[in-house]
Amino acid sequence: MRPFFKGQSIILSIYAWRKYCCALAAPMSLTRPATLLHGSLMLAPVFVFATAVRADAPSADLGSDTARAQPVPKEGPAAPDVLLDGASQEASATEAESTDNPPGAGGEALGVDPRLEPSAGAVDDAAGGYPADALSLTAPEPADPSIVAEAATAPALPENTDSEGEDEEVSGLIEELTYAQHPGLPLAASKIFFAKRPWTISGFGEMAYTAYLGDKNRDTGDIELYNTNLYRFVLYGAYRPTKWLVLYAEAFAEVLHDGFREIDFEVLPEVFADFTISRPFGLRVGFSQMPIGYINNNDEPVMFYSVSRPEVERLIIPSQWLPLSVQAYGRLGDSLTYMLTVFQGVDGEDMLGASWLRQGRDVGFNVRTPGLGAQVNYSPIDKLELSLSGVAMESGNRQRVTVDGAPRTVHARTLLLSGYARYAFGDFSLLALGSMGMMGETDLMYELTGQGPQGPQVLGSRTYGYYFDVGWDMLPTLRGAPSGPPNRRFFYRTDEMQLPIFVRYERLNTHAALSPVLQARLTDDDRINQSDLDIITVGLNFMPRRNLVLKANVQFRRNRARFSYLPEEGHRIETGLGFIF
């Protein structure tokens, strides 16, 4: 049986990171309580990651661990689906035991990104790929954010047993990742659906530092848009009492610091029950990510290139959007998946002009005017994914305001649409995403936001944003064909290493159009905080193993705002570290 962790490795890991954290925190002017919190949040993720990778490390019996990590060869027998009726699922699970599919997979999902597979020759059939049989709405993207993973299926969810054999086969507190996705969830969050036992602990962490080469704009009122230091740690806990039910909880903690005196600490819950009723229909009830755009369902740091998330998916499409919702999802045919969502709505009073809907995200039991969301994904050929998604809601929640002495009801009907395409070929990957939004009654929203903490906000009646990502993993070219068996150590595995470089171009505008009624009412004292940005990001990732990534990139930014009071955008240098377990 493998040990839970090796104390010496953890001590060395914490000591090394502590030295980095002390150097990073030295220029900060924090109060003593804030400093203690600051340091604790930096060290806690390192401890969890160290224990996670120790539990994930190969034991003396390397063959069994290696087998669990390998993809399903294309030429192998087709695996059964996870969303089956009970009788079919039991039969499929029995049949699956006799196949060469990786043990421990517990559901149907997209396969591992090809860039994360072991190098050719590391194991037999390592380049075999995956059968095109996916349920997941968005493909995993561990280090290469624009690669479309080929679809894969896995054996049906096993019966939950407390047999001694299972305890012997899965040792350690943290079970290793399978690098497959369940619909609407990123990699680490999907672990329970593919685990060998009925409970799992997983999560992710990321730390980032941003140096500003020019002015920093604090007038937007959202510290996430101008932070210098970011620390984020997420812990998932899940329990599967039966084959068709998963109970899931997440604790999300984030600290943002502007490098001077402003600090923001945020904790978000994510709790839901997932019912895998049948192949074409599953149900999720609780707090979960909105299925729109790419990042919302792929927000773990190994799933996108840049240190910070793309600005289009922060300012136009709100990321980290976790409303109370009921979601139906499933698969129709061989290449089409869907997700339909009814959610609690947004808080229009908190919206800001510079970030549009972002500050209106609401986590709690305040059911406002319900909104509707939908997403459809289509994979016509291998390594190509096409996605369309949208959200329709009322941003005003039918609240009352007074205009010229007369009461008015604010509806502010809002529509947000998004689509993306991803394709991979060889060591190259492409991702293109676009989004547009429309909001009515922004003149009444001006009055409604005046009741909020930031004062009256000029919101765009039309917004848009898009970006293009191109990446190339240059490690295979630099290293050549591997010779001999892979070297698998605590913090690196030669058969999992990647070294991608990338370029991204972003264009977005939070005020592509203003309501004529609102424009007529504005005075010289009204500030229009417009984000009308051109951004070019150039960067490098290094992935010593598939669940750990080091990132660095430079952003060249320009704000085209015609009537903005914002200072000129400064360029940025960003560095970061991320991991999942």
pLDDT at position 100: 39
Tens digits of per-residue pLDDT, 228-237?
Answer: 999 999 999 9
Residue 471 lies in a domain: yes
Tens digits of per-residue pLDDT, 407-437?
Answer: 999 999 999 999 999 999 999 999 999 999 9
For residues 49-65, give the mean pLDDT. 38
- Which residues on adjacent β-strands are paired with residue 500? 473
pTM of the entire predicted model? 0.74
pLDDT category at 68 given cuts 50, 70, 90 is: very low
Task: Check the CA dihedral 560-388-342-156 and report its sign.
Answer: negative
pLDDT at position 567: 64
CATH code, domain carrying 455: 2.40.160.10
pLDDT at position 220: 66
- Which residues on adjacent β-strands are paired with residue 152? 109
pLDDT at position 239: 97
Q: Both tokens of residue 380?
A: 């016509």
Residue 265 lies in a domain: yes
CB contact at 8 A, 361 and 222: no
pLDDT at position 453: 82
pLDDT of 573 higher than 70: yes
CB contact at 8 A, 185 and 554: no
pLDDT at position 564: 53
The CA distances from residue 506 to 224, 303, 326, 392, 435, in Å, are 18, 18, 32, 24, 12
The CA distances from residue 287 to 189, 272, 342, in Å, are 13, 6, 11
pLDDT > 70: what percent of the chain? 69
* E strand map for 75-178: 109-110, 151-152
**Among 232, 264, 308, 269, CA closest to 42:** 232
For residues 218-247, give the mean pLDDT. 90
33 by Cβ neighbours in 10 Å (0-12 / 13-18 / 19+) ranks as exposed
Least confident range of 66-70, 107-111, 385-389: 66-70
pLDDT at position 200: 96
pLDDT of 81 higher than 90: no
For residues 300-308, give the mean pLDDT. 96
Tens digits of per-residue pLDDT, 262-273?
Answer: 899 988 878 999
**The one-letter amino acid at 144:** D
Q: Give the number of domains in the chain.
A: 1
pLDDT category at 563 given cuts 50, 70, 90 is: low
CB contact at 8 A, 471 and 366: no
Total H helices, total E strands in the chain: 8, 20
pLDDT category at 251 given cuts 50, 70, 90 is: very high
pLDDT category at 484 given cuts 50, 70, 90 is: confident
Which residue's structure tokens are 């054996």? 155
Rounded Cα gap, residues 37 and 31, in angstroms? 10
pLDDT of 57 higher than 90: no
Looking from the CA of 431 toward its CB, the CA atoms found within 13 Å total 27
pLDDT at position 262: 87
Reduced to 3 states, what is the DSSP secondary structure of residue 573? strand
Q: What phi, psi does 141 have (nearest 5°)?
A: -145, 70
CB contact at 8 A, 559 and 569: yes
Specify the DSSP class assigned to residue 317: S
**Among 290, 324, 284, 561, CA closest to 416:** 290
pLDDT category at 566 given cuts 50, 70, 90 is: low
pLDDT of 61 higher than 50: no
Least confident range of 190-199, 243-252, 396-405, 555-564: 555-564
Rounded to 10 degrees, the C-alpha dihedral 513/517/518/521 comes to 140
Residue 1 lies in a domain: no
pLDDT of 9 higher than 90: no
Reduced to 3 states, what is the DSSP secondary structure of residue 360? helix
Tens digits of per-residue pLDDT, 371-414?
Answer: 999 999 999 999 999 999 999 999 998 999 999 889 999 999 99
Provide the residue range defining the domain that includes 200: 7-580
pLDDT of 366 higher than 90: no
Q: How far is CA 450 from the centre of its chain?
A: 33
**Among 492, 488, 487, CA closest to 13:** 492
pLDDT at position 517: 92
pLDDT of 333 higher than 60: yes
**The one-letter amino acid at 189:** A
